[in-house]
Amino acid sequence: MTDPHPPLRSYGRLKTRAIKPRQAALMESLLPALRPPADAFDPRALKPDAAPGWAEVWLEIGFGGGEHMARQAGRRPDVLILGAEPFQNGVASALRHVDEAALANVRIHDGDARELMVRLPDASLDRVFILFPDPWPKARHNKRRIVQPETVAELARLLKPGGQLRFASDWADYVDWTLERLGASRAFRWTAERADDWRTPPADHLTTRYEEKRLGDCAPVFLDFVRA
């Protein structure tokens, strides 16, 4: 009998090289404390005892090496940032950033973001980042992209009215792909009014390590959407 809910598959390499000893130690000691609950949960409850509630809850889908997530968390200690990344070397790197900055407002899901998203309640997120995701540029691999109609629908469920979604890529086809799929949803409004709105990094953007490599086929494009 076919399983109606087969396990999610994270495409691509989950590990490329040996993890450095210090980071490997953090995978054992720090990661278990930062993992969100395995069942459905309210992210606003993930706070130290007696601490005030989080002002906002953000999600970064595919945080890469974690430098953007960690720096945003350092800027906004009143915001809880959930991060999801299946690539183990990236998780190890992120743990180092969290440890060095002594960040108390980061939680890490070391797996596919969609596994985490289904455990979150409706309208529980204030902001979502999808920054320079794997472009899967070959047409036969486009189905592996994280931006799909079902993902858009899930983001619409999770974001509060007025919540923000930022997508960035340096692959022109993926930018067009994303505009088409977000544009097909009545739940989202693209905020751009002029070309500079997508050509110029937003004022609160923090450059990622991948972005600096310029591996795509166009200059970085930044698409900001608002949940209607």
Residue ranges making up the domain that contains 65: 21-37+49-227
Q: Is residue 16 part of a domain?
A: no
Q: Is residue 182 part of a domain?
A: yes
Higher pLDDT pick, 52 / 87: 87
Confidence class for position 14, pLDDT limits 50, 70, 90: low
Query: What is the tens place of the pLDDT at every residue in 125-144?
Result: 999 999 999 999 999 999 99
> How far apart (Å, rounded) are the C-alpha atoms in residues 122 and 32?
25
Average pLDDT over residues 66-72: 97
Helix residue ranges, H only, the chain: 21-29, 31-34, 67-75, 88-101, 113-117, 149-158, 172-183, 196-199, 209-213
Number of domains in the chain: 1
Rg (the chain; Cα; Å) = 17
Q: Is residue 163 part of a domain?
A: yes
* Mean pLDDT over each residue of the chain, to the nearest integer: 92
Provide the whole-model pTM: 0.92
Phi, psi of 57 (to 5 degrees): -125, 125
> How far apart (Å, rounded) are the C-alpha atoms in residues 80 and 59?
9
Q: Catalytic site residues?
A: 134
CATH value at residue 79: 3.40.50.150
Residue 140: Cβ-neighbour burial (10 angstroms; 0-12, 13-18, 19+):
exposed
Phi, psi of 213 (to 5 degrees): -75, -25
Whose tokens are 């278990």? That residue is 32
Q: Is residue 140 part of a domain?
A: yes
CA nearest neighbour of 190 among 153, 164, 160, 225:
225
pLDDT higher than threshold 50 for residue 96: yes
* Residue 115 C-alpha from the chain's centroid: 12
> How far apart (Å, rounded) are the C-alpha atoms in residues 24 and 82?
21
Q: Is residue 4 part of a domain?
A: no
> How far apart (Å, rounded) are the C-alpha atoms in residues 2 and 13?
27
Q: Is residue 12 part of a domain?
A: no
Q: Is residue 8 part of a domain?
A: no
Angstrom distances, CA of residue 85 to CA of 12, 73, 97, 99 = 12, 16, 15, 17
